[in-house]
Amino acid sequence: MIDDIAHDCPTLVRSDSAVRMLLACAGFGPPVPVEGQGIVAGDLFAHALDQRVAPWLCVNLVDQCPDWISHREDMMFRRYLDARRAASAVGLAQLAQIVSAMTAAGVKAVPFTGPVLAQLVYDDPALCQFDELDLLIDPAQAERALAVLERLGYRTALADLTPGRLRAYHRYSGQDSLLADGKLSVVAHWAAAPRCLSMQIDVSAIIDRADSVIVGGHIVPCLSVEDSALLLAIRASTDQWRRVRPAQDLAALAVRYPLMDWDIVLVRAHQYGLRRAMLLALLLAVDVFHAPIPVDLLAVARHDPHCRALAQMVRGGIGAPVREPASMFRLSRFLWSVRERRIDRLSYTWRTLTLAGVPHFRAVALPEALAFLYPLVRWGQTMMALPLWRRWRR
């Protein structure tokens, strides 16, 4: 049903006024009139779907500003919210089954996105667009967690890989995406980011600090408020801020938890070499969604010229179509700039240039005894095959 509603939307309007209107209407507070209020609400809805802030747009326009929209748009938004609530209930039931099975098997598994994050941040699991369920797993229990999911009927999306290559994928990606008929996909994470990004994050410590929350009548684990803020910033940076939604979540988190210990958040980010990534997220939460971040913390963020430049780049891309996810096998200026420590930048560069992954495993099927040669396969593809192919295409 949600896809049908999205299909009814008109073509996206890419004007500055449309972007300003979207941010004014899709925030976590009442919409603020801005220049360009005459923009068709359906255009804003298409923008909001693209940026994954559509639930808040619909709630705000239907409940706060019904005079801004037509009767047809009002009905479309209400249908979308009903479909979102139904999808959220289905996802929660699926999540509760998984968490129960993990607990019974003695596996520490903490949901940290989707309906659980929406409950923690907005007190409403329906106020989140999600199409998969993410679980943070204790790294020492990764194999047990995957076994539990397999018993529940989930299968890896990379079933074509040999067991040895699948283990290699697990090592460098720190996750696996699993599918089951008629259910949302489940992504089990035992690392907060792929190995090539060189982010040494203590996932076990994050899980040990986990709390719990009641979502739709189910008691499920959740990250602490401080770790939720940190993971939002980390995941947004690893995704190169393709969407503005993490800034909205972070702003809402700051509003709902005014006593959050931001000093602890920044200390942990500094320990992981991700202080700039955290400051960038805070700067965007303030500039785009007016988050109530402590003044001294905001001053630190604005004092970093790299942080300011990255924030300007992200803000400038809000009105553009959301990009496809970037390949982890290509160096990114953004991922280089968002790291403040030289050693992390160098490690990121080396690992990105030498790491072989699923595309290389599928291109050349080496026997297990020669698997150590995959970095050479990767170099060969990068340095020879791709340039030749590009010249042929011309």
- Min mean pLDDT across 113-117, 130-134, 197-201, 324-328 is at 324-328
- Burial of 16 from C-beta contacts in 10 A (0-12 / 13-18 / 19+): exposed
Whether 11 has a pLDDT exceeding 70, the answer reads no
pLDDT band at 323 (very low <50, low <70, confident <90, very high): confident
Q: Is the pLDDT of residue 30 over 70?
A: no
Alpha carbon distance 43, 65 (integer Å)? 16
Tens of pLDDT, residue by residue over 151-167, are 999 999 999 999 999 99
Residue 67, CA atoms < 13 Å, CB-side half-sphere: 3
The DSSP H or E segment spanning 310 is helix 305-316
pLDDT at 33 over 50: yes
Confidence category of residue 53, pLDDT binned at 50, 70, 90: confident
Beta-sheet strands, E only, within the chain:
109-111, 132-137, 155-156, 175-179, 185-189, 211-215, 218-222
Q: Residues 64-93: pLDDT tens digits?
A: 878 878 888 889 899 999 999 999 999 999
Residue 365 pLDDT grade (very low, low, confident, very high; cuts 50, 70, 90): confident
Phi, psi torsion values for 162, nearest 5 degrees: -70, 160
| pLDDT confidence of residue 321 | 76
For the cut 90, the answer to whether the pLDDT of residue 369 exceeds it is: no
Among 1-10, 144-153, 371-380, which is the least confidently predicted range? 1-10
Q: Are 310 and 338 in contact (CB under 8 A)?
A: yes
- 166-205 residue pLDDT tens: 999 999 999 999 999 999 999 999 999 999 999 989 999 9
99 CB contacts (<8 Å, ≥6 apart)?
109, 111, 218, 220, 221
What are φ and ψ of residue 17, in 5° steps? -65, -35
Q: Which of 248, 296, 257, 312 is nearest to 53 (CA)?
A: 248
Residue scoring higher pLDDT (69 or 115):
115
